[in-house]
Amino acid sequence: MSEQLINLAYIVAAILFIYGLKQLGSPATARRGNLLSSVGMLIAIVVTLLSKQILEFEWIIGAAAAGALIGFFAARLVAMTSMPEMVALFNGSGGIASLLVGWAALYNVGNTTFTVVTIFLSILIGGVTFSGSLVAWGKLSEVMPSKAIVFAGQRVVNGALLIAIVTAGVMFCMDPTIMSYEFMAVVVLSLILGVMVVIPIGGADMPVVISLLNAYSGLAACAAGFAINNNILIVAGSLVGAAGMILTNIMCKAMNRSLANVLFSGFGAVKTATKVEGEVKPIVAEDAYLILEAASSVTFVPGYGMAVAQAQHVVRELGELLEANGADVSYAVHPVAGRMPGHMNVLLAEANVPYDQLVEMDDINPRIKNIDVAVVIGANDVVNPAARNDENSPIYGMPIINVDHARTVFVLKRSMAAGFSGVDNPLFFGENTRMLFGDAKASISAVIAQFKG
Amino acid sequence: MEAIFLAFILMLSMFLGFELISKVPATLHTPLMSGANAISGITIVGALLSAGSGQGAMATWLGAAAVAFATVNVVGGYMVTDRMLAMFRKKDGGA
């Protein structure tokens, strides 16, 4: 195939990527959009294989078969609760692929200085994405401690690391010899930087980190596109980069923090919330049933705890019973509920909750005063009124779902321990709050049993 | 000139990306991310060119390793996105 034809096919692929993303604008068309996007990818791959530049296939076939097999089983077998870990690993493999493509581009003859600079960038961004994603995966899967790892002199170390990378990078770009010490230094330091960037970030901030690494994996592909002079890599890479940046921004806004604040300060290290004192009012399943049975509008507010307790299926069952009982049922999802953007929505969709019942924070808050019962399942910070009232709270200013304004609030909680970020939550002592202690799945099943009994 | 031309493409597709993706509803943010993982597997194109163009053993190995990683993204990313999107349904049956 001639160069022109290939580039023409790349344009078609780009159109399909763009149109596919456009269709992701609504759940009704999203699946078709994903299919279109994959057709675009197939076209890009096939025309590349047909190009005259490709002379030998044996390595390609083996490598692609291995990758396809891993991808296939990963996609088939992953549990929806583990999507954050999976996306973290995919970010990482995107990063390392760009690093390797940048590295291999060094073997092209006649690279200009500009090309060498972009090779440096694809190695740097790809390396940071790869090792950073592995650390993020480790934190999410709790292979390593999920809380922020902070040590004395961390900023000095990171500063020195940055200076070292820039120095090695400049020396490498001025004399781009393959396998030189400067080159090795760039690779190794990039990988170390990725680790250093992610370790000081705590578990509750993981949605930001995953989104950011998603953006990096796109930018790494972009840089690799510059390194090998390829349009389609630049177009697709920047679409991914834009997606990651938008999500990062949404996550930061939903926590009322700047990106710099998330990246450079261990969560909760700065302020201690005012201790709230009060009395909790525990109830049992029978009483909860009586209140729910009389309610005409109920909203569920899920958090990561729902995923941990695997309670989404019983929640949906209870939702259906309430609907059959004539109540208006909705599910209010905070943007940072769960460990990645949109995680709760996927879990609820998996449990067969129709997507028109999933509402966003900004939709529910204006009408929360008219909600009879708000049921909080495994969420803490995102419903903590201290974010509105207590200036000393580390989460002060963060937009929350104002469940305390609902007529009655049920909080499902294992026991009276502080939540993930160790914030005291005045919601538990609220006048209209009732605590349903125990495993979320067991508690809801008990209420369902009352409904059926 | 080539560099400027590529930078121009970068600039335009960034803006287009921002426009498109800011319209994706919060409900679909997880499939958006896994779909983005799949699209970032586009590096497979670069990887294929390195692995297959006979520029010596080292370039071939690096390219082949990149092909493997990028294929994980392409295959895994699109499949898991499809699996998730298939679960989103409207109230009265149907997708």
Judged against a pLDDT cut of 70, whether residue A267 lies above it is answered with no
User: What gap in Å lies between CA A378 and CA A309, rounded to an integer?
Assistant: 8
Q: Which residues contact A320 (CB under 8 A, 6 or more apart)?
A: none
Instruction: Share the mean pLDDT of chain A.
Output: 90
Residue with the two structure tokens 């005259």: A52
Mutate to test the interface with A, among B10, B32, B33 (most CBs of A within 10 A): B33
What mean pLDDT do residues A68-79 have?
96
The pLDDT assigned to A307 comes to 87
Residue numbers in B near A349 (CB within 8 A)? 27, 84, 87-89
Structure confidence by residue, pLDDT tens digits, B33-49: 999 999 999 999 999 99
Mark yes or no for CB contact B51/A59 under 8 Å: yes
Judged against a pLDDT cut of 80, whether residue A278 lies above it is answered with no
Q: Which of A8-22, A88-102, A265-279 has the lowest mean pLDDT?
A: A265-279
Alpha-carbon Rg for chain B in angstroms: 18
User: What gap in Å lies between CA A34 and CA A304, rounded to an integer?
Assistant: 27
Mark yes or no for CB contact A107/B56 under 8 Å: yes
* Spatial contact of A41 and B42, defined as CB atoms under 8 Å apart: yes
Q: Which residues contact B55 (CB under 8 A, 6 or more apart)?
A: A104, A107, A108
Kindly name the residue from A362, A363, A372, A381 that is annotated as catalytic: A381
The pLDDT assigned to B94 comes to 45
What mean pLDDT do residues A170-197 have?
92
Model confidence, pTM = 0.91
A71: nearest CB among B35, B79, B86: B79
Mutate to test the interface with B, among A3, A6, A34 (most CBs of B within 10 A): A34
* Residue A418 per-residue DSSP state: -
B72: nearest CB among A55, A71, A178: A71
Where residue A403 falls among pLDDT bands split at 50, 70, 90?
very high
The structural domains of chain A, with segments of one domain joined by +, span 1-77, 82-270, 285-452
Helices (H), A24-57: 30-50
Residue numbers in A near B16 (CB within 8 A)? 18, 239, 242
Judged against a pLDDT cut of 70, whether residue A78 lies above it is answered with yes
Mutate to test the interface with B, among A11, A86, A90, A328 (most CBs of B within 10 A): A90
Question: Annotated catalytic, A381?
Answer: yes
Residue numbers in A near B17 (CB within 8 A)? 21, 238-243
User: What gap in Å lies between CA A330 and CA A315, rounded to an integer?
Assistant: 11
The pLDDT assigned to A68 comes to 97
Mark yes or no for CB contact A72/B75 under 8 Å: yes
User: What gap in Å lies between CA A172 and CA A185, rounded to an integer?
Assistant: 9
Mark yes or no for CB contact A342/B76 under 8 Å: no
Measure Cα distances from A219 to A3, A82, A213, A216, A439 in Å: 25, 25, 10, 5, 42
The pLDDT assigned to B95 comes to 43
Measure Cα distances from A246 to A52, A76, A251, B76, B84 in Å: 38, 28, 9, 23, 21
Q: Minimal Cα–Cα distance from A41 to chain B, Å?
A: 7
- Taking the mean position of all CA atoms in its chain, how far away is CA A337? 10
Helices (H), A141-230: 154-174, 181-198, 206-227
* Spatial contact of A239 and A218, defined as CB atoms under 8 Å apart: yes
Where residue A417 falls among pLDDT bands split at 50, 70, 90?
low
Where residue A422 falls among pLDDT bands split at 50, 70, 90?
very low
Residue numbers in A near B88 (CB within 8 A)? 27, 30-31, 349, 355
Q: Minimal Cα–Cα distance from B63 to chain A, Å?
A: 6
User: What gap in Å lies between CA A206 and CA A227, rounded to an integer?
Assistant: 31
Tokens of A30: 């999203």
Is the model more confident about A203 or about A170?
A: A170
* Spatial contact of A245 and B38, defined as CB atoms under 8 Å apart: no
The pLDDT assigned to A265 comes to 63
Structure confidence by residue, pLDDT tens digits, A325-353: 999 999 999 998 888 899 999 999 999 99
Q: Minimal Cα–Cα distance from B38 to chain A, Å?
A: 8
Mark yes or no for CB contact B9/A228 under 8 Å: no
The pLDDT assigned to A420 comes to 45
For B11-53, the DSSP string reads HHHHHHHHHHHTTS-GGGHHHHHHHHHHHHTTHHHHHHHHHHS
State percent of chain A over pLDDT 70.
95
* Spatial contact of A214 and A237, defined as CB atoms under 8 Å apart: no
- Given 3-state DSSP classes, what are the helix, strand and coil percentages for chain A, each rounded to the nearest 5? 65, 5, 30
Mark yes or no for CB contact A346/B6 under 8 Å: no
Mark yes or no for CB contact B31/A24 under 8 Å: yes
Structure confidence by residue, pLDDT tens digits, A28-73: 999 999 999 999 999 999 999 998 778 888 889 999 999 999 999 9
Q: Point out the residues of chain B with pLDDT beneath 50.
A: 94-95
Is the model more confident about B85 or about A414?
A: B85
Mark yes or no for CB contact B9/A231 under 8 Å: yes
* Side-chain-side CA neighbours of residue A424 (13 Å): 16
A64: nearest CB among B23, B61, B71: B71
* Candidate CATH numbers 3.40.50.1010, 3.20.20.60, 3.60.15.10, 3.40.50.1220; the one for domain A285-452: 3.40.50.1220
Is the model more confident about A259 or about B79?
A: B79
What mean pLDDT do residues A411-436 have?
76
Residue numbers in A near B59 (CB within 8 A)? 104, 107
Judged against a pLDDT cut of 80, whether residue A271 lies above it is answered with no
Q: Which of A57-61, A233-237, A374-378 has the lowest mean pLDDT?
A: A57-61
Interface confidence (ipTM) of the complex: 0.95
The count of residues in chain A is: 453
Helix axes A312-324, A440-452, angle to 10 degrees: 30
The chain A residue lying nearest B28, using CA atoms, is A342
The pLDDT assigned to A177 comes to 84
- Given 3-state DSSP classes, what are the helix, strand and coil percentages for chain B, each rounded to the nearest 5? 80, 0, 20
* Spatial contact of A247 and A211, defined as CB atoms under 8 Å apart: yes
What mean pLDDT do residues A390-395 have?
82
State percent of chain A over pLDDT 90.
66
Is the model more confident about A420 or about B1?
A: B1
